[in-house]
Amino acid sequence: MIKFKNVTKRYGKHVAVDNISFNINEGEFFVLIGPSGCGKNYDIKND
């Protein structure tokens, strides 16, 4: 299981993700959707 709890991501003054929590259970798929260059990989790789 992968668990995200109370995650917030900011870029300077801009809040990109605000206090989200969710679980990804074994056998489930999770997809981040967004335009090219919007930071999908960056958000997962960095804290």
Entry pTM: 0.57
Residue 36 C-beta-side C-alpha neighbours within 13 Å: 0
| pLDDT attached to residue 47 | 56
**What's the CA gap between 1 and 38, in Å, rounded?**
26
Q: What is the pLDDT of residues 2-42, one digit of tens each?
A: 898 998 888 899 888 889 899 999 999 988 888 887 767 76
Long-range contacts of 30-39 (CB under 8 A, 24+ apart): 30/2, 39/11
